[in-house]
Chains A and B, each alone.
Chain A
Amino acid sequence: MTLAQILALAIFVIMFVMIVLDKIERQYVTLGCGLLTLVLVFGAAMRSMSAIIETLNLRSIFTVGFWYAGAAGEESSSGINWATIIFIAGMMIMVEGMAKAGFFRWLCMRLAKLVHYKPIPLFVAFMIMSSILAMFIDSITVILFLAAVTVELAKLLKFDPIPMILSEIFCANLGGSATMCGDPPNIIIGTSLGYSFSDFLTNTGAMAGISLVIVIIYFFLVYRKELLQEEAEAVDPSTVPDPKDAITNKTEFAVSCVIFGCAVVMLVTHAQTGLTVAFIGGVIAIVTLAAFHKYALELLKKVDYKTLLFFVGLFVVVGGLEQTGILELIAGFIGKVSGGNLKLMIAIIIWISAIASAFVDNIPFAATMIPVIKSLAATQGVDLSTLAWALSMGTDIGGSATPIGASANVVGTSVAAKNGYMIGWGKYCKSAAPATIIVVGVSMLFIFARYC
């Protein structure tokens, strides 16, 4: 190993350990480690200005292809993935606008009313809604609103919200895996490898769809005793607030619905229109800010800049691993272990991704694995997209297994606990870990059957 490789690896390991220890806010950790990568790895060890320029990747923003891909829009996977960052920022602004207008609360309450507040239909409806919303909106927002409404309904209708919250969390992660924009690993995979929204929908989306049916049955069976008892003891729902009360301003509500609809249409058709996710993110941010110009500053302040900075630093550190060739070594190792057997390669990628994502942040893991699968596809002559779907399902679903595996899990369990519904590791893993194993297993078999 060269000095640059040792340094890049050491910085990466330090970054991961510091993220897990959570002593310093994670964006400072990745930015600090990113700076160390630029100075020590690229500057001192490699003395390569081109590696720094390539990793910072600023030039890409000023190319037409960054905003309009035309037919083929593959972006370099090296360095900072600005498309991901711009898209996530745009979605954050849109979601803040929707939340301000009362969209999410209205949707949850409307759906609850539609099923007459009956525990079992509510349980199933909220799982489906969680999955569908998470296909387009970040899972943290989905769970933040769903869990809050679930707790509110539970208090009014006197049922235990924990089974519902646990199943909603799982479905938010599952829904996120179905599309390119549902979960950060998918956005990174899609923008880095040039896949479209429909590529994801027809591949990971199909796996997520099948899994959703299985998961609904699974969670129902796990909690059937509680659900049947609650169904029998159903309370008068007249105390539940009217969904209309959630709407803070009718015009803003209508505007936010239109913006969301346009965003969905643009995302679904972006392969045909040639608009990149960076463009879509930029446009929806501008349109939202223009439509909500009265609160534009407030919306901009609510953007989670910490997460965006976390991404910037992370991409630089992973760029360090990539530029020094470390990730090719890992790819070579996986290739050697699998002996060129595609099924074994898929099994290794999907299960290692799932197990790792259950305990560590799946975003750095996915960002690190993209160059690995790229190299693996090139050296072993296997189809890159097959490996990408395995990586996507492994990282997205694996995170569901434990309370710390994905952001939605942390937010959901935290919202529940703050309201007195304590969810510890035991309670969480008892239902979520087997569900994770089932869905990862089903996805692996699906990939075997369809692509091998």
Chain B
Amino acid sequence: MAEQIIIAIGREFGSGGHAIGEKIAKDLGIEFVDRKMLDEIAEEKNIQVEYLEKLDEKPRKLLMSRRVGAYSNSLEEIVADMQFDYIREKADKGTSFVIVGRCAETVLRGRKELISIFILGDEECKKNRIKERYNLNEADAAAKMARHDKKRKRYHNRHSDFKWGDSRGYDLCVNSSRLGVEKTAEMLEMYIKERM
């Protein structure tokens, strides 16, 4: 690909945002930044990747964290900063990639090569997807969805100056329940190609 393109996808839990991102990356032939990011950070900093996974995209523990200037004792925030640095460095290298979550739309805001997307979904659709994927009953799926969305929202709102899922913060907001994962991804690819 001649010109750099970065697609940052924010998503509700169960909306299929991850799968959409993966398909877009595959179809456009660009890198999909996912778990690999944690692997690389873990290797560079000599930390166990399982340890980083526990802190990945998690909000700080409110009463157990404190900030002094640019320093915070919250490991969740420190891991978030490591990921933000990783995203910035990757973007600076001129690589094209798709990234899901991690406030990438905020971290890279202002770059002309950035396309920011938020994927949402209908409650029922998201619940069904979660039930199927994690083999859960209705109540457990609903609880898991609420728990994850709450964490993502807190994480995002801590690191961003606009609210999670607020349409004014993204180039596009799409309900994936209307067309399904495949067709939503294809529709988004059309938009991306127009922007390239």
Contact = CB atoms under 8 A, between A and B. Distances in A.
Given A140-B68, A403-B73, A410-B68, A420 B62 contact: no
B53 to A, nearest CB: 13
Nearest to B81: A418
A304 B69 contact: yes
B78 A414 contact: yes
23 contacts: A22-B66, A140-B68, A403-B64, A403-B66, A404-B64, A404-B66, A404-B73, A407-B68, A410-B66, A410-B67, A410-B72, A417-B75, A417-B78, A418-B78, A418-B82, A420-B44, A420-B45, A420-B46, A420-B47, A422-B47, A422-B78, A424-B75, A425-B64
A64 interface: no
Given A140-B68, A404-B65, 15 more contacts: A22-B67, A140-B69, A304-B69, A403-B64, A403-B73, A404-B66, A410-B66, A410-B72, A414-B71, A414-B72, A414-B78, A415-B71, A420-B47, A422-B75, A424-B75
Contacts of B65: 22, 404
Contacts of A409: 73
Contacts of A140: 68-69
Nearest to A22: B67
B190 interface: no
Given A417-B78, A422-B75, A21 B62 contact: yes
A306 B67 CA distance: 13
Interface in A407-452: 407, 409-411, 413-415, 417-420, 422, 424-425
Contact of B73 (A21, A413, A419): A413
Q: Which 7 A-B pairs have the closest CB atoms?
A: A420-B45, A414-B71, A404-B66, A403-B73, A417-B78, A410-B68, A407-B68
**Most chain B CB neighbours (cut-off 10 Å) among A407, A417, A418, A424:** A417
Contacts of B67: 22, 410
Interface in B39-95: 44-47, 51, 62-69, 71-73, 75, 78, 81-82
Nearest to A413: B73
**Most chain A CB neighbours (cut-off 10 Å) among B62, B63, B72:** B72
Contacts of B46: 420
Contacts of B44: 420
A425 B73 CA distance: 9
A20 interface: yes
Nearest to B69: A304
B56 to A, nearest CB: 13
Q: Specify the main secondary structure of chain A where it touches its partner.
A: helix
Contacts of B73: 403-404, 409-410, 413-414
A22 B62 CA distance: 8
A6 to B, nearest CB: 26
Contact of A411 (B45, B68, B78, B81): B68
A409 B64 CA distance: 13
A22 B74 CA distance: 12
Given A304-B69, A418-B81, A20 B45 contact: no
Nearest to A155: B46
A386 to B, nearest CB: 31
A316 B68 CA distance: 22
**Most chain A CB neighbours (cut-off 10 Å) among B44, B64, B71:** B71
A410 B63 contact: no
Interface in A306-362: 306
Contacts of B64: 403-404, 425
Contacts of A414: 68, 71-73, 78
B1 to A, nearest CB: 33
B92 to A, nearest CB: 19
Contacts of A415: 71
B81 to A, nearest CB: 7
Nearest to A359: B63
A409 B67 CA distance: 10
A417 B74 CA distance: 9
Nearest to A361: B66
Interface in A205-236: none
Interface string A372-386: 000000000000000
Nearest to A420: B45
Contacts of B63: 20
Contacts of A417: 75, 78
**Most chain B CB neighbours (cut-off 10 Å) among A404, A413, A415:** A404
A321 B64 CA distance: 27
A22 B78 CA distance: 16
A87 to B, nearest CB: 19
A425 B45 CA distance: 20
Given A417-B78, A418-B81, A410 B71 contact: yes
Nearest to B67: A22
A409 B45 CA distance: 21
Nearest to A418: B78
A91 to B, nearest CB: 16
B17 to A, nearest CB: 27
Nearest to B42: A420
Nearest to A19: B66
Nearest to B157: A23
Contacts of A304: 69
Nearest to A140: B68
Nearest to A411: B71
A415 B81 CA distance: 12
A106 B109 CA distance: 40
Contacts of B81: 418
Nearest to B158: A23
B111 to A, nearest CB: 24
A73 B75 CA distance: 46
Contacts of A418: 78, 81-82
